[in-house]
Structure 1
Amino acid sequence: MTEPRSAHDMPRQPLSAQAERMLAQAREAWSRHAFDAAERSLIGVLALVPNEPTATRMLGMVSQRRGNHTQAIDCFQRVLPVWPHDSDLHVCLGIALFERGSIDQALAHMRQACELQPQSAPAWFNFGEALARVTRTAEAVAALHRALELDPAHVPARLSLSKAQASLGEIDHAVAGFREVLRRDPVNAEGWFGLSNLNTVRFDATDAASLQRALAREGLPARHRELLGFTLAKAQEDQGDYREAFETFRRANASRRERVTWDAAGERRRVDAIQRIFANDMPAPLDPGLGREVIFIVSIPRSGSTLVEQILASHPDVEGANEIKDMPEVIDAETRRRHSAFPLWAPDASAGDWQRLGREYLVRTALWRKVKPRFTDKSLVTWYLVGAALTMLPAARVVIVRRDPVETCLACYRQCFTEQTGFTCDLDEMADYCIDFTRLTRFWLQRYPDRVLDLPYESLVDEPEPVIRRLLDFCDLPFDPACLAFHKTARTVLSAPSAAQVRQPLRRDTARSARYGDKLDGLRQRLRDAGLPLE
């Protein structure tokens, strides 16, 4: 989402010369993106003239840019009575509320912004972007179409629309949208990566040449260089040049590794601590039936978890929630409350504490049970939290989805993730992450054999019906043939690399590691040394 203009041109009462000078300094600092300096000047203005509307509003804008959304909300709410019909102000307040998790209030303000200024493309864009993020995708598509009707050159709206269409399975429309972005802006990194991330587009030599030209530009931001680099590598794969593709992936990942942090030794210590603590018995549950609604799907990225979710979400009793953060957020909140790191506080938690956390999770996820009684919680970090989740929600089920380790590590190495997945930038670190995942999930399978299911991706591909029947039986769901025809299920799929794939019948030709030959020998050896079986 983007922020509308500042309100320095709004009518206001005259200020003293000192206050005017400080306000001018704040505007100048804002123009340079010097937000700390802008904040200091604005605080100075407000010390002279408390609650001065323009300074308060600008302080909200600065707070928003610095990530202090709580302060931004306070500032915007204080000046809303001054400018109740200002569309931009409602958008700003909506963005801040959204970032703080007050989704309904946020959407109400964004909708009001569109009603106040129906000819504002930015207002419709921000409304559509917010709707897309909460999987109200059909409404998002309508809002983004409106933004583009008002301003066909609004590139962020076109990018967001293409992503939303992809999540609905409208792949041809998504491809056309990304291509239109590139027609208007041939070096647009987000447009190229959006096409690549669909995993359905084959790039030709002309595309590869265009990508080379885009990468050759001076002054590219690191993130744009990485997006273009990953896309070029996939274009080189499409041309059959796997040796050059590997080198391009290596350069792009090396750039990412300079910007992201990852502590492999620290992660290993965390896994050790979790395994040590949850090897002991936790308090007996006060309500053994708590959590029956929940099916957790845990995996490493690019292992087939979105496919498993699509299969389960094809069942008439199951809602697919996509990747949600409620479980780690509940654990993080308890960690802050106790002033102790997870899992160190787990032995001190009583049965009542665990029940309280389980009920809090169910309240937070209630929206996923409005239509269907069961829902999936697919997260790439919940594999750390299986013990906590099953102590909180003793009747929940956990499905561990795993894939051949070499294929998994390579698939992650080929994907440009966000900064939260630093382990994917280096094949040795990716191998160590995979080793830790395997070690801990084996422990969960031994510790909770009746509540945790091991589901190998390769078995699902080789024998779909028996594996799907076993999956449904484990989840205490009656068989439904729609789960075999999962690719026909209409729903929003937020995982962009998988959105098109899960709408196709199962394929047996997804393995890639053999094409990279000896480039992956070090990875194979590291995994073998840790005792992981390889295909």
Structure 2
Amino acid sequence: MALTGNISGRNSRPAQGGSPKMTPAQASGFLARGYKAMQRGDFNEAGGCCSLVLKHFPDAKEAHFLVGLIGIESGDWATAKRAFRNVVSIDENHGAGWAQLARCCVTMGQYNLAEKALQNAMASRPEDPLVLDVIGNVHSLLGDQIEALRWFDMAKAAAKSSFFDLSRAKALTFLGRLDEAREALEAVLKEKPDAAIAHWMVSRLEAVSDDTHLSEMQEIAARMPSDHPDASFLHYAIGKEFEDLGAWDEAFSAYETGAKARRGHVRFDEAEERGLFETLETVLTPAWFAAQNSGHDDPAPIFVVGQPRTGTTLIERIITAHSEVESAGELQQFSMAMKRVSETSSPRPMTAEIVRKIAGDDMKALGQLYLETTKAVRGSSAHFVDKLPVNYLYVPLIAAALPNAKIIHIVRDPIDSCFASYKQLFAEAYYHSYDQEEMARHHVRYRKLMDRWREVVGSRMLDVVYEDTVADLEPNARKIIDFLGLDWQDACLNFHDQKAAVTTASAAQVRERVHTRSVGRWKEFEQHLGPMKSVLKNAGLVKSTA
């Protein structure tokens, strides 16, 4: 990765106290070393190089930029955001800095700030294809896949390379243009045949009927180191295609290998999650909820919550097929509003401390801030759907802060739910899903919490059973629309005809009519799911005869 410039001129003044011991040439050398360290995942050395340069050249925008990239690569978005703010403070025309700042803000759920940074990035008229690609990704994260595709197209044209077809394929998949997505992925693989992420994306476009692509991926996996960051993509793709072909044992073996590979690159602190769930239950009690007498009265928000891979996207599509409802995507705004109102900060999505503090704060202010920060993505319809599954954690807070909002909770068979997550490669979430027992214990905690929330909020939340919905769509769709207080529209039965983008793992599948293929799928893998099944059975979530 190239440096953003040389350490010279007014933007790289030496530290106070006389001439620096480090020369500009030496500083450039340390930054080059830092970039190499970052690329091999040695964030300590990369950060040390930056600190050394900034000690002597505190206004070196190149060093601040590298700090930001290290923050992104290591998942420390708050540090990344501060670093890119420093970059654009030093050089207000730094298009790459503005683009990366927008990326940080949108990832952290700070959409208004992201929009402002994005406008500055575009105003800088960037020509670097890497910057054009980042701008496209920000548009994608903001939910505008058409605009995202336009920037990805510009990136590809500027680079004259298929490298950026990977981003194009992502946007095209979200837009339902699957044939074009396949063409883009084929262009990537022609240029880079071992591109694991491209193979993974190809595998998800449709069910396969032969093992041509499968055999190709197996050959690549055989020569790829098991600890390679992209190895998990290949194994999940191999598992998916074995499953398409009904080769259940081979599919599970690939999923298990992929899960172990992914576990080696992510961290899950189960004790911390357990503490968070316990705090939620003990703080957000029926008595606490009854004492909340104010909130923002806007009826626009509709929250669809639950576990991932349980039909949340299906239900969202049924709802957004209605003319009075738009999809806002999977938003981080509610948890971000909790942090801002409680005046707490944490690199983690949520902590027990934040829950304890927000419970004593003004619920109306919480609702108001959520609504203000969703303006950029909610559209112009009377209602919008926030489909972030993990919002199930905050059901009482949502109900108190937004007393006229609707909350729909999707329920799915416990083993189907757990296995559906276990065989899915997620981006930066659901780290419990890469181990059978951890996945099952998480599900037990989730079920217990939702039982508690039914006691707290009562009829404010509607449970929708996935299996019932796919088995008999119309009565269940009508129940949902009635709960929302909307007039029935037949379009809700034809949700698959929608042209709107879908930015979830279900992007290709939801273009289909409703089906029951996924119901009871776990039974094909039953002999391999002993650890998962045992945890669920001991918790009373699986019948002894199952």
The answer to whether the 8 Å contact 1:22/1:44 transfers is no
The DSSP-based 3-state class of the residue aligned with 1:437 is helix
Q: In the alignment, residue 474 of structure 1 is paired with which amino acid?
A: F
Task: Determine whether 1:427 maps to 2:432.
Answer: no
Report the equivalent of 1:151.
159
What does residue range 423-462 of structure 1 map to in structure 2 within 5 Å? 423-462=432-471
Task: Determine whether 1:214 maps to 2:220.
Answer: yes
Taking the aligned partners of 2:408 and 2:210, their CA distance within structure 1 comes to 39
Report the equivalent of 2:30.
26
Instruction: Tell me how far 1:364 sits from its aligned partner.
Output: 0.9
Report the equivalent of 1:510.
518
Identity over aligned pairs, percent: 23
The DSSP-based 3-state class of the residue aligned with 1:376 is strand
Taking the aligned partners of 2:126 and 2:266, their CA distance within structure 1 comes to 41
Report the equivalent of 2:509.
501
Q: In the alignment, residue 34 of structure 2 is paired with which amino acid?
A: W
Report the equivalent of 2:329.
322
Task: Determine whether 1:77 maps to 2:88.
Answer: yes
Pick closer, same or farther for the CA change 1:10–1:268 going to 2, 3 Å: closer
What does residue range 176-187 of structure 1 map to in structure 2 within 5 Å? 176-187=183-194
The answer to whether the 8 Å contact 1:403/1:458 transfers is yes
The answer to whether the 8 Å contact 2:410/2:465 transfers is yes
Instruction: Tell me how far 1:281 sits from its aligned partner.
Output: 1.8
Aligned residues: 511
Instruction: Tell me how far 1:498 sits from its aligned partner.
Output: 0.7
Report the equivalent of 2:104.
99
The answer to whether the 8 Å contact 2:309/2:421 transfers is yes
The answer to whether the 8 Å contact 1:317/1:374 transfers is yes
Please, which of 33, 39, 47 is the counterpart of residue 36 of structure 1? Answer: 47
Output the TM-score relative to the length of structure 1: 0.88
The DSSP-based 3-state class of the residue aligned with 1:513 is helix
What does residue range 197-346 of structure 1 map to in structure 2 within 5 Å? 197-198=204-205, 200-202=206-208, 204-219=210-225, 222-282=228-288, 284-287=291-294, 290-337=297-344, 341-345=353-357
The DSSP-based 3-state class of the residue aligned with 1:319 is strand
Instruction: Tell me how far 1:342 sits from its aligned partner.
Output: 3.9
Pick closer, same or farther for the CA change 1:391–1:276 going to 2, 3 Å: same
Give CA-to-partner distance per residue, 1:136-180, whole Å, 9 cap, x none: 11111122122223334241x211111111111111211222222
The answer to whether the 8 Å contact 1:335/1:341 transfers is no
Q: In the alignment, residue 424 of structure 1 is paired with which amino acid?
A: S
Task: Determine whether 1:416 maps to 2:425.
Answer: yes
Pick closer, same or farther for the CA change 1:344–1:103 going to 2, 3 Å: closer
Taking the aligned partners of 1:28 and 1:431, their CA distance within structure 2 comes to 45
Taking the aligned partners of 1:218 and 1:175, their CA distance within structure 2 comes to 24
Report the equivalent of 2:41.
none
Mind listing any 5+ residue stretches in structure 2 that lack a counterpart?
38-44, 72-78, 347-351
The DSSP-based 3-state class of the residue aligned with 1:448 is helix
Give CA-to-partner distance per residue, 1:89-123, whole Å, 9 cap, x none: 3122321243134222222233234x354xx4334
Task: Determine whether 1:192 maps to 2:203.
Answer: no
Q: In the alignment, residue 90 of structure 1 is paired with which amino acid?
A: G
Task: Determine whether 1:167 maps to 2:174.
Answer: yes
Pick closer, same or farther for the CA change 1:354–1:217 going to 2, 3 Å: same
Please, which of 387, 391, 396 is the counterpart of residue 382 of structure 1? Answer: 391
The DSSP-based 3-state class of the residue aligned with 1:477 is coil
Report the equivalent of 1:57.
61
Report the equivalent of 1:122.
130
The answer to whether the 8 Å contact 1:140/1:164 transfers is yes
Q: In the alignment, residue 96 of structure 2 is paired with which amino acid?
A: V
Q: Alignment RMSD, CA only?
A: 2.7
Pick closer, same or farther for the CA change 1:63–1:190 going to 2, 3 Å: same
Task: Determine whether 1:519 maps to 2:528.
Answer: yes
Taking the aligned partners of 1:327 and 1:482, their CA distance within structure 2 comes to 29
Instruction: Tell me how far 1:468 sits from its aligned partner.
Output: 0.8
Pick closer, same or farther for the CA change 1:493–1:285 going to 2, 3 Å: same
Q: In the alignment, residue 343 of structure 1 is paired with which amino acid?
A: V
The DSSP-based 3-state class of the residue aligned with 1:296 is strand
Pick closer, same or farther for the CA change 1:116–1:525 going to 2, 3 Å: closer
Pick closer, same or farther for the CA change 1:522–1:243 going to 2, 3 Å: same
Mind listing any 5+ residue stretches in structure 1 that lack a counterpart?
none
The answer to whether the 8 Å contact 2:342/2:358 transfers is no
Q: In the alignment, residue 431 of structure 2 is paired with which amino acid?
A: G
Instruction: Tell me how far 1:481 sits from its aligned partner.
Output: 1.3
The answer to whether the 8 Å contact 1:262/1:422 transfers is yes
Instruction: Tell me how far 1:243 sits from its aligned partner.
Output: 1.1
Pick closer, same or farther for the CA change 1:404–1:78 going to 2, 3 Å: closer
The DSSP-based 3-state class of the residue aligned with 2:417 is helix
Task: Determine whether 1:131 maps to 2:139.
Answer: yes
Pick closer, same or farther for the CA change 1:527–1:493 going to 2, 3 Å: same
Give CA-to-partner distance per residue, 1:167-214, whole Å, 9 cap, x none: 11111211222222122211101101112233x141632222211221
Pick closer, same or farther for the CA change 1:188–1:476 going to 2, 3 Å: same
